[in-house]
Amino acid sequence: MKAIFFPALLLPVALIATPQQKITDQVPRAVSILNNWQAQDAVKAEKKVHLVYWSPADREPPTGYVVRLAAIMEDIRRFYGREMVRLGFGPRSIQLDKGKDGRPVIHVVRGEKPYASYGPESGGDIRKECLPVLTAAGLDPEKETIVIFCNMANWNQATRTITQNSPYYASGTNCNGTAWQVDSPILNLDFLDKKEPRVKDGQYGDISVGKYNSIFIGGICHELGHALGLPHNCERPDEKEAFGTALMGSGNRSYGDQLRGEGKGSFLTLAHGLRLASHPIFSGSSKGLDIPANAAPTDIRINNLGKSFSFSARVVADPPVYAVVGYMDPAGGGDYDATTCTAVPDEAGNFTLEADALAAGKAGVFRVVTLQANGAAGSFASPTPQFTYPYRVDKEGTVDTSSAAAFAALRPLLAEVAASSTIAARNILRGIAEKKPDPKLLEAGEVIASSLGFRAGKAPSAESRSPCRLSEASMTEATVGYGKAIPNRLPGDNLLFSCGARLFSRGLYAHAPAIHRWDLGGKWGSLKGHAGFPDGIDGGSCVFVIKGDGRELWRSEKTGPGTLRSYELPVDGVKELQFIVEDGGDGNRSDWGCWFEPELSL
């Protein structure tokens, strides 16, 4: 697919919309789609956020925790409400389950074991201990959004030091979610505006008591966002100037900073305001709540605009898609540094996302999420197992979208290959070939299609043609740390090999710990290729090692996502060749190592 190029500097200034112009343009149209669908055969909901206070068996809740946490949660409710009003959605916010006294209900749970038996990894066990109490209160925890405050902080009044050993994370959807938080005696809304006194936190060091509360009240607000289904993203440069720090980026550390004159505080991005608008807790509608995300894009087009690019497609679904969010995620750093762009489909379902907040000098992936009127959020461009659209930005800010365009063009083929539909894959490949695409794109498509019913060729010791492609040669061993060692494709649906937005036709999936071994017969002269992580994997680290007859020929530096390692080595006289992928020293989670286009030459 040949991208159209328009020099970004020639774009009229008037076409560069400000954050407020985007809100003014998009939100009324999104709300109209959302409200019209929810109003037909309306199903009203009174979904609320439910609070739990959990303590280990050998601890009592600190004095006054009910009043403190009630004030904090009310402030968080006001924060979400103010932000939704600012974004143009009207007075929508979280709803708290309240008792007759008007305060939020807090369900108290005593743990089964003492403090020493729990830690940050104990979230599942703690939640399990909370379930009977919630069930006895008439709640179905699998259909509710729950915040669990863990009494796992250690406060020393004399030394003014504090540490915490608590779960502190969350996950959720439009249907349910759980957030684990930590409580402490100095977690107090009344302290949020105080620059004095100082406290010494085990993670954040010497900070004011106000900053401590920014971090940990902001943390409650941030993790609640995850429980409501919000992913990470940081603020765009234009949003930072206008509004401050995005809540779902680093905004968990800036909540209330403006009260101490230390910044603009935290805000909700338009991307996340759009997503929350259909959540049953915010919308008051449970219509179609159990319908899973089912939006499927067609006619995907990626146009290079010089220092930005556009992603256009058509999406028609039931429930209707009222908004689409694009995430521009640079390699490394997790997804905290992902910026966003948004669009609202027209009556025919057509939309265009303008990817114009890119990090210079970095490769990245573009992910697209469709928001449906029942609250379901479907991604057709997530890291795994679906699709990513890799791109690269040079130091001057010029973007290369050739790899993203290849992924878009091959997407129908990849779907059929993932479904093991051999005949359909061949027919689609024939149609792609008729369009006479870039040879590299066509070759990648041919190799992916041939991975169905793959049969290895001769062992290198028996091969006479040069070069010998190792991904297609018979091996004496192939083991990987996760999934199956299938040559020339990745597991799941995201099948193509690319690293740093560079497309490779062939490769070996080698999640650490992994080993691939070949019989060379001592007949080959040189070996070349590349190693790294496939685009879209953000996390993990590996070390790549090549051995010949047990002797180490090459060892990479510790390698993470977005970094491509290349090698070219003599292998004269080597009889046995080994490719080894080791964990980088931090566990093998997300260690999706890959060998790209390795080949031998005589």
* Angstrom distance (rounded) from CA 488 to CA 505: 8
Average pLDDT over residues 202-210: 96
Please state whether beta strands 161-164 and 198-201 pair in parallel, antiparallel, or not at all (unpaired). parallel
Structure tokens, 119: 């830690």
Q: Where in the chain is the domain with CATH 3.40.390?
A: 45-283
The number of beta carbons lying within 10 Å of the beta carbon of residue 430 is 10
By mean pLDDT, which of 91-105, 118-132, 328-342 is the weakest? 328-342
Specify burial of residue 426 (Cβ count, 10 A radius: 0-12, 13-18, 19+): middle
Instruction: State the Cα angle at 599 between 594 and 602, rounded to 5°.
Output: 160
Structure tokens, 509: 């999936």
Return the pLDDT at 275: 97
Please state whether beta strands 389-393 and 363-372 pair in parallel, antiparallel, or not at all (unpaired). antiparallel
Residues in the chain, total: 602
Residue 10 has pLDDT above 70, yes or no: no
Beta bridge partners of 52: 107, 148
* Angstrom distance (rounded) from CA 150 to CA 165: 9
Average pLDDT over residues 330-339: 84
By mean pLDDT, which of 10-24, 166-180, 338-352, 389-403 is the weakest? 10-24
Return the pLDDT at 387: 57
Residue 381 has pLDDT above 50, yes or no: no
DSSP notation for 228-253: TT-------HHHHHHH-EETTTTGGG
Average pLDDT over residues 433-443: 92
Return the pLDDT at 418: 87
pTM: 0.88
Average pLDDT over residues 203-219: 97
Average pLDDT over residues 101-123: 96
Per the CB < 8 A criterion, the answer to whether 53 and 107 are in contact is yes
* Angstrom distance (rounded) from CA 55 to CA 527: 59
76 or 103, which is more confident = 76
Residue 598 belongs to what H/E stretch? strand 594-601
Residue 382 has pLDDT above 60, yes or no: no
Residue 473's pLDDT band, with cuts at 50, 70 and 90, is very high
Instruction: State the Cα angle at 282 between 276 and 285, rounded to 5°.
Output: 110
In the CATH scheme, what is the code of domain 45-283? 3.40.390
* Angstrom distance (rounded) from CA 217 to CA 187: 7
List pLDDT tens digits, range 533-570.
Answer: 998 887 889 999 999 999 999 999 999 988 999 999 99
* Angstrom distance (rounded) from CA 89 to CA 38: 15
Closest C-alpha among 143, 69, 60 to residue 106: 69
The domain covering 8-16+287-400 belongs, at the CATH homologous superfamily level, to Immunoglobulins (2.60.40.10)
* Angstrom distance (rounded) from CA 1 to CA 309: 14
Residue % of the chain over a pLDDT of 90: 83
Please state whether beta strands 145-150 and 49-55 pair in parallel, antiparallel, or not at all (unpaired). parallel
Residue that the structure tokens 């083991």 belong to: 479
Q: Where in the chain is the domain with CATH 2.60.40.10?
A: 8-16+287-400
Structure tokens, 56: 């280990």
Instruction: State the Cα angle at 17 between 16 and 21, rounded to 5°.
Output: 170
* Angstrom distance (rounded) from CA 383 to CA 366: 10
Return the pLDDT at 558: 95
Return the pLDDT at 16: 62
In the CATH scheme, what is the code of domain 460-601? 2.60.120.1060
189 vs 74, 112, 192, CA distance in Å? 10, 30, 5
Beta bridge partners of 182: 150
Average pLDDT over residues 276-302: 93
Return the pLDDT at 586: 87
Residue 334's pLDDT band, with cuts at 50, 70 and 90, is confident
Return the pLDDT at 5: 32
Specify burial of residue 83 (Cβ count, 10 A radius: 0-12, 13-18, 19+): buried
Residue 442 belongs to what H/E stretch? helix 439-450
* Angstrom distance (rounded) from CA 228 to CA 568: 49
Phi first, then psi, for residue 597 (nearest 5°) are 45, 50
Per the CB < 8 A criterion, the answer to whether 549 and 575 are in contact is yes
Structure tokens, 545: 């090692």
Return the pLDDT at 11: 38
Average pLDDT over residues 12-17: 52
Return the pLDDT at 25: 95
- The mean pLDDT of the chain is 92
Residue 343 has pLDDT above 80, yes or no: yes
Return the pLDDT at 23: 94
* Angstrom distance (rounded) from CA 570 to CA 527: 6
